[in-house]
Structures are given as structure tokens and as C-alpha cells.
Amino acid sequence: MRLIEDTPRLDIADVKALDSWPDIIEAGTVTIVVGTTSMKIALGSDQTLFGRRWYFACPSCSSHRRHVYLVAGRVVCRTCAGLKYWIQSLPGSSWRRDVAAPVLRRIGGLSKAPTVLGR
């Protein structure tokens, strides 16, 4: 299972921070160079109450994404890349014991260790 946390990604905020951002908006695409290969990723935006929200259009499925990932020489969204979050790789019992229970205890939502069924 390939994990999001271990995969190179590009955030739209990093592109917006580039000096060339006005030119990128004008072009409607951002060019990503990986080795000797360059790929154009289309950009889009929506008007919100707080200003304009920019996103990548995934080259594979066209969904609107804040992040795109470099997997096997392609730049795509996490769904097209088949990526999972680390937490999704844990078995359910491990997730409850190692992730959910400590958080619940910290915020006062769980006063004792959870009962693990089958033990």
C-alpha cells in the first residue's frame, strides 16, 4: 500500500507563492518538470465569500484538488494514484487502541482504556 505521507506532492499554495503566479493564471496551467519530462496541469478556481479558491484539475479524472502527487512518473490526485493515509493502513483494532483512544482520553471523552473485544 502506497502512503500519502511518503509520496512527493505539490500544494496549490506553493504554486500561488511563485513569482510567476500571474503568468500561471494567464496560461491556466502550471508546467511541472520531472527529470526530462514536463507535464502541464490545468488550474481552475471558484469564487468564495473569502476570495478566489484555486485548485489543480487532476490530469486523469479532472477532479478539483488542492494537492497532486508524483507517482510512477505521473502527476495525479491521490484517488487516481491509489494512495492511502497512514491511518487507513492500520487494522481497526490498532486504530482504536493507538489513535482514537489516546485522543479521546486527552480531550476527556474516554475515562478508561477501551475494551478490546475477543481478548
List of residues contacting Zn ion (CB under 5 A): 58, 60-61, 77, 80
> Which residues lie below 8 Å from residue 66, measured CB to CB, with a gap of 6+?
11, 12, 13, 55, 56
Task: For Zn ion, give the closer residue by CB, 7 or 60.
Answer: 60
Least distance (Å) from Zn ion to the CB of residue 60? 4
Q: What are the respective helix, strand and coil percentages of the chain, to the nearest 5?
A: 30, 35, 35
Task: For Zn ion, give the closer residue by CB, 64 or 105.
Answer: 64
Q: Which three cell numbers stand for residue 50?
A: 473569502
Three-class SS state of 5: helix
Least distance (Å) from Zn ion to the CB of residue 81? 8
Least distance (Å) from Zn ion to the CB of residue 34? 17
Task: For Zn ion, give the closer residue by CB, 82 or 114.
Answer: 82
